[in-house]
Amino acid sequence: MEGVGRDRKRGGYSRHVFEPAERELREWFVEEAERRDLAVRTDRNGNIWAWWGEPGTDAVVTGSHLDSVPGGGAFDGPLGVVSALAAVDALRAQDFTPIRPLAIVVFAEEEGGRFGVPCLGSRLMSGAIDPDVARRLTDPAGITFAEAAAEAGLDPARVGRDDEALAAVHTFVELHVEQGRGLIDLGAPVGVASSILAHGRWRFGFAGEGNHAGATLLGDRRDPMVPAAEMVLAARIAASEVDDGRATVGRIVPNPGGTNVIASTVDVWLDARAGDDASTREIVERVRAMAADAAERENCVLTVVEESYGDTVVFDSELRDQVSRALGGVPALPTGAGHDAGILAAHLSTAMLFVRNPTGISHAPEEFAEADDCQAGVTALATVLERLTG
Ligand SMILES: [Zn+2]
């Protein structure tokens, strides 16, 4: 997988759902699964399932995603998929045969790197997003999710809640590179997740008046970049005022985006997270209030759209303890990152294993995990799958 989807401009990898690099990885996964005699099928939301044993209602499923953020690292997503394949190999090498069906899943558009809504594949499958809303999502080139899905061989009319797929999963265990410094500080190669912060994405649209950068007097301007800039600072202030709050602006799109042009509109995306729903909402409301003030001073119009939201997830404590015990008492730790396991936690028993990340850096080319720690992750996953399916 190493050479697929390298991003020469940003560094790291850009593997966006249904684009050539991500599709190449999908094909790679199907080949790897079929080489292991796993029965492969793609569901109507573009998630790929590889079954060891007949699908039933008591299956244990593991897996992750193959798409990336723009300029992302090599481990976020692929580590969980590769480790799942390696865990199946390890179990077979021990002549283990699962009593309960076991499957590996690859979820589509986990990062929301192309269509803006994270965990789109698991949200669609579990009914957490209206399929009409999903079909209308657009990528930066203006292509809709419906168009991209059709091009990838799906029937866009059939995306949405998939009770059959959902009913087939009893337990989901996702292995993932840790995104943070929890395990490095604990001196442990592998840990289990306890919770995920509440988090969401909001698009702040500032509308002003496009005009000439030289010919327009300052007093005559309605420049949306000015309140947009104030909003970036407001995000930092608002998050710092809330306990364990985090707010990020990582994406700003001015239209038309010319050096000698006052923008007519500027879209700014806010990612806000905190320990609970109320704190997260409070950050967003504070940013909204400051942004609205700034917009008014510049005679611009502000609109705010919530693009995605997920409340705090506390993983099934019984399963978490069972997994930790099976691994000799590995530590449990919270995370600020969202995952498909967090979406599915609303419907079924889910757990996550984290593999140590020596710098804690993620969503960047520097993301890393030592080979020994990756191997420890595979061994841990195999042990957990053996315990849950045997
Ligand atoms: Zn991930």
Query: Tell me: the pLDDT tens digits for 113-134?
Result: 999 999 999 999 999 999 999 9
Residue 56 is predicted with a pLDDT of: 84
- 318 burial class (0-12, 13-18, 19+ CB within 10 angstroms)? exposed
Nearest residue to 246 (alpha-carbon basis) of 235, 255, 258: 235
- The alpha carbon of 287 and the centre of ligand 1 are apart by a number of angstroms equal to 27
Percent of the chain topping pLDDT 90: 99
Looking at this protein, which amino acid is placed at residue 129?
Answer: I
Averaged pLDDT for residues 354-360: 97
3-state helix, strand, coil in the chain (%, to 5): 35, 25, 40
Averaged pLDDT for residues 282-305: 98
Indicate if the pLDDT at residue 214 is higher than 90: yes
Residues 174, 157, 23, 372, Cα dihedral to 10°: 0
- The alpha carbon of 255 and the centre of ligand 1 are apart by a number of angstroms equal to 31
Averaged pLDDT for residues 322-351: 95
Indicate if the pLDDT at residue 140 is higher than 90: yes
What count of other Cβ atoms lies within 10 Å of the Cβ of residue 273? Answer: 24
| pLDDT tens digits, one per residue of 363-382 | 999 999 999 999 999 999 99
- The alpha carbon of 24 and the centre of ligand 1 are apart by a number of angstroms equal to 18
Residue 176 is predicted with a pLDDT of: 98
Cα 232 versus chain centre, distance: 23
Indicate if the pLDDT at residue 77 is higher than 90: yes
- The alpha carbon of 111 and the centre of ligand 1 are apart by a number of angstroms equal to 7
Distance CA(142)–CA(225), nearest Å, equals 22
- The alpha carbon of 94 and the centre of ligand 1 are apart by a number of angstroms equal to 29
- The alpha carbon of 234 and the centre of ligand 1 are apart by a number of angstroms equal to 28
- The alpha carbon of 223 and the centre of ligand 1 are apart by a number of angstroms equal to 37
Distance CA(387)–CA(60), nearest Å, equals 10
Indicate if the pLDDT at residue 256 is higher than 90: yes
- The alpha carbon of 144 and the centre of ligand 1 are apart by a number of angstroms equal to 23
Distance CA(62)–CA(81), nearest Å, equals 8
Considering the entire predicted model, what is its pTM?
A: 0.94
Average pLDDT for the chain: 97
- The alpha carbon of 81 and the centre of ligand 1 are apart by a number of angstroms equal to 10
Indicate if the pLDDT at residue 15 is higher than 90: yes
| pLDDT tens digits, one per residue of 172-190 | 999 999 999 999 999 999 9
Residue 295 is predicted with a pLDDT of: 98
Residue 148 is predicted with a pLDDT of: 98
- The alpha carbon of 338 and the centre of ligand 1 are apart by a number of angstroms equal to 8
> Nearest 5°: phi and psi at 212?
-85, 135
- The alpha carbon of 212 and the centre of ligand 1 are apart by a number of angstroms equal to 43
- The alpha carbon of 132 and the centre of ligand 1 are apart by a number of angstroms equal to 25
Indicate if the pLDDT at residue 337 is higher than 90: yes
Indicate if the pLDDT at residue 57 is higher than 90: no
